[in-house]
Structures are given as structure tokens and as C-alpha cells.
Amino acid sequence: MSGQEKRYFKLFSKLYKGDKHYIKLFDAIESQGENYDERKLRRSLKKEKWLSYFPKVKNHLYNAILKSLEVYGLENSEDGELQKAKILFGKGLYKGSDKLIRKLKTRFEEDQNFVALLEVLLLERHTNTLLYFEKKSQKDIEELSRKIQDVTRIIDNIAAQQSICDQLHFLVNKFSYVRTQGQLNEAKKIFSNALLENEKCAFSTRALYVFYFSHVFFYGFMGDYKNVCKYSVKQLKLMKYPKENPLYNFSGYLSALTNYLQAAILCKQYDTMFQKYFSELERFYLDPALSGRDADIQIKTRLFVRFYMIRFLYLINSGQHNKITAMLPAFLSQLEIYKSSMAEVSVSDFNYFIALYNFGIGNYLQAYNYLNTFLTAGNAPGEETQAAKLLQMFAVFELNDDTMIEQSVKSVYRYLKTRKLFRKFEQAMMLFIKHSIRHYSDSEKMKGLYLQLKVNLEKIKNDPFEKRAFEGFDYILWVESKIKNRPFAEVAREKVKAINE
């Protein structure tokens, strides 16, 4: 809850008679800050007689908060004004209702709140009939009917665009990215819809925003990150931060912003536009209005996750592992604060990032441990689990532990075989491991195996169904670092510098 919502809850609760045990519970929870701990909470309230029926008081508090937020939302939203117009209409106060309708029409049109606008227009039409079309001309009536038809057409267009976007979003959530011809055909079939032909197929800026999102999902699924950047930037420009813009909503803007930054990192496009939008994300994260004590906990958490997700991704992919070393203590401290309000999958993602960082600096045991934590959580999509298992196997390989490597190879082999995941990339990696185990101590033979692996991987990377396997960790750069006998981070920095020169 924001600071204003908390204050409103306290005032709202004073309106009701009866016991106020739930207010004491609210204050006790509030005193814990962002680290809710029910055992500590119960200990702090041990002198309260009502602690024996704690679940009942807790449920009472839950319902009271929901009710206060509902009323607060109505009082501070356009929906509240619309409700007033309906009440006036229902009481037969048609002139008062008509006056409020005229004001709401202008506001809803400016805000592109078409569903509410249609409701107002229909209410206006009904009011006109009950007032016997007082002070209305034939032109006014025709204009209102035309407006209702236009708004209905716009709503239908938004719904149709959203339906396509939802289908593509579902595909991305289900498969993460294209790895088979069947998945490719399915994505292309959805994307071939005539409504995605060009921007004119979106009849409003809201529909256009969804139109751009469909392109972001499709090109992201295909691994075409330059086009993801292109359409994410179009979204950002359409939303036009700051929030005075009616289309603006912070969550949507933040999603578009992180989509752009993530895509730019994956295609190593670190230009002035990247720096501009990365600085904007950092400003959001440091803004007291968004991340301060009184800010909404969900927004604060979302900002924390998005900011550090992008930062880890950028620093790992650009070989700036030394900067991660410097920021890691502060990050881990912040993580403890936000962990209770984060989705479990986000916590797992950070474990994976830290594993990548440790692998990159040659701290293979730590990489192994963090990957183990990631895999034990069991909440990652199948493709991410597979990538983590492979990387963990190579962490063991680098540790040169005969017992561990044998167990790890068998485990990964079983995992890939039972799920029928032996594609070109996986075959190349398992074949390398099979041969290298025998010759790990022979530097000349190992160099030959690394050279052959590099040739194989570079061929595989050109396959549209295989290239995404290189995104989580750049195995080609790792092989290059082994051939040159140089630190992985150093080779990664050189590669980024060469691309952006």
C-alpha cells in the first residue's frame, strides 16, 4: 500500500464502530516494514487477548483493507465520477446526470478510456429520451449515434488486437523461443493476421500500443532482437513518459523499457539510445516517489527486479564482471529486503545470473552451488532448466573432479534423452565432454578439441532453431578464452568493443 492508501485506511476505519483489534494488527505489521515475519509478529502481540483468535482478526483486517481500497479507488478515479452520474440518473435527476455526462465525455475521450466512454454515451442517449430531447437537434442525435458506432468499432479493434497479442504472448510463455519447425509455423500463422499488416490497422493509440506488443512478442520468439528494439522504442515513444500522457501507465512503460534494454543487450547494441534508456531505468530505480519508504511495495519490488536484471545481463554480456564484484554486496543486502515480495521465479533468475558471473570469473564451485540452488527451486521454464544443467556440467568439468563429472554427465544425458532434447547444440556439447574427459590433462589434445568445438558451434549458431541456445551463456566466447588461455571476461570485453566500434 502507498502512504496515501495507508492514511486513508486509518481514516476509513474510524467511521466504523466495534472492536478495532485489526487496527492494532495493522500497526504491528506496518512496524515490520518490508520484512513480514508472522512468528515475530505473534511474539510482539503476545500480551493481546485477541491473539487466541488471530486468524479471525487477520481476516477482518484483510477485508477492511480491501473495502477501504475499493472506496479510495472510486473516490480517486473516473469510475467514481461515472458512478455518480449513474446514481443521479437512477434517482431521476436527469439534468444533473446530463451535466456530469458532458464533463465525463470530454475526459474519457482525452484519456482514450473507450469502454467507459461507450457507457457514458449510452447513458446520454437514455437521458435524452427521458428529457424528451430537450435542447437537442436532429444533428445532435445523429452525431451521438455516429459516435456510439465509432467507439464500438474502436473497442472491437482493441479487443481483436489484444486477442492476437495474447496468442503470441501465450506462445512465448509456453516455449520461450522457437526451436522447432512446428513452433515456427504456429508463430507465423498467428502473425500473418491481416490486423498486423501495418499500423493503420490499429484504430486508436491503445490498439497501436497492443499492435507494437504483438511485434515485440513475435520477433522476440524468433530471436530477431533488432526488431524487438525497434518496436519497443515505438511503444516508449507512443506512451510518452511522464504520466500526464493518458496512455501512460508505469507498469506498461517499465515493461517496454526493459524489453528494449534486454533486446539491445542480446544483440550487443550499446549505442547512445541504449545509454539513454538505461539511464532512465536507473532514474526510476533511484526516484524516491517510486522507490522511497511510502512508495507502493509492488512497484518498488518490480523496479528492483527489472533494474538489477538488466544490470546483471548488461555487465555479464559486456564482460564487466569486475563491476558486478563491486555491486554484489549491496545487491545481496537489497535482495533480502525484497525477497518476501518477489515472485519465486525472479529469485531463481538472480541465482542464475550470479552463477553466470561466477563462471565468468573462474569461480566454478560457486557457479555450481548457485546453479544447484536455481535447479532445486524447480520453478524455471524447461529451456532455462536445460541451459542451467548444461552450464553446471561445464562448471564441474572446469573443477576437474572425476567423480563429480561422471555423475553430472550421466544426469544431463538422462535429462536430455528422456525429454528428447538432443538437438544439434546439445549433441555437440555432449560429444565434446565425452572426448575431453579422457584428455583433460593433455593440453595439446584439449586445444584441438576446443578448436573443433568452436567450428561446430559457429556452424550451429547460424541455424535459426539453434541460435537461441547461445543466449544464456556465450559458449563460443568461452571456447575462445580456453584456446587463447585468457580470462573469459577479457575476451567478452574485446568482442563487445569490436562490435560497437
Of the three residues 279, 300, 327, the one that is the final residue of a domain is: 327
284 and 311 fall within a common domain = yes
Is residue 408 situated within a structural domain?
Answer: no
Could you tell me if 233 and 176 lie in one domain?
no
167-216, pLDDT tens digit by residue?
A: 999 999 888 888 889 999 999 999 999 999 999 999 998 899 999 999 99
Number of domains in the chain: 4
Residues 241 and 173 in one domain: no
Find the length of the chain. 501
DSSP 450-468: HHHHHHHHHHHHTSTTTGG
121 and 23 assigned to the same domain: yes
Q: Are residues 206 and 238 in the same domain?
A: no
At CB < 8 A and 24+ separation, what contacts does 16-20 make? 19/50
Q: How far apart, in whole angstroms, are the C-alpha atoms of residue 2 and residue 5?
A: 5
d(CA 3, CA 8): 9
What's the pLDDT score for residue 271? 87
Query: Which of these three, 327, 345, 362, is where a domain ends?
Result: 327
What lies within 8 Å, CB to CB, of 370 at 6+ separation is: 351, 352, 354, 355, 358
What one-letter code names the amino acid at 172?
A: V
Are residues 150 and 98 both part of a single domain?
A: no
Residue 125 and residue 162 in one domain: no
Shared domain check, 114 and 23: yes
Q: How many CB atoms lie within 10 A of CB 158?
A: 22
Q: Are 391 and 371 in contact (CB under 8 A)?
A: yes
Final residue before a domain boundary, out of 147, 180, 211: 211
* 148 and 38 part of one domain: no
In a domain? residue 397: no
Q: Which domain holds residue 124?
A: 3-133
Using the CB atoms, write b or e for 47-59: b if 16+ within 10 Å: eeeeeeebeebbe
- 253 within some domain: yes
- 187 lies in a domain? yes
Q: Which long-range contacts (CB under 8 A, 24 or more apart) does 377-381 make?
A: 377/344, 377/347, 377/348, 377/351, 379/344, 379/345, 379/348, 380/345, 380/348, 380/349, 380/352, 381/176
Has residue 236 been placed in a domain?
Answer: yes
**Is the same domain home to 83 and 154?**
no
Is 468 a member of any domain? yes
Task: Please give the DSSP secondary-structure letter assigned to residue 196.
Answer: G
| Position 364 in a domain | no
**pLDDT for res 234:** 95
- CA-wise closest residue to 321 among 274, 264, 369, 359: 359
- The answer on 55 and 120 residing in a single domain is yes
pLDDT (0 to 100) of residue 75: 47
Do 113 and 39 reside in the same domain of the chain?
yes
DSSP at 242: S
Per-residue model confidence (pLDDT) at position 109: 82
Low-confidence residues in the chain, pLDDT < 50: 74-76
The verdict on residue 332 lying in a domain is no
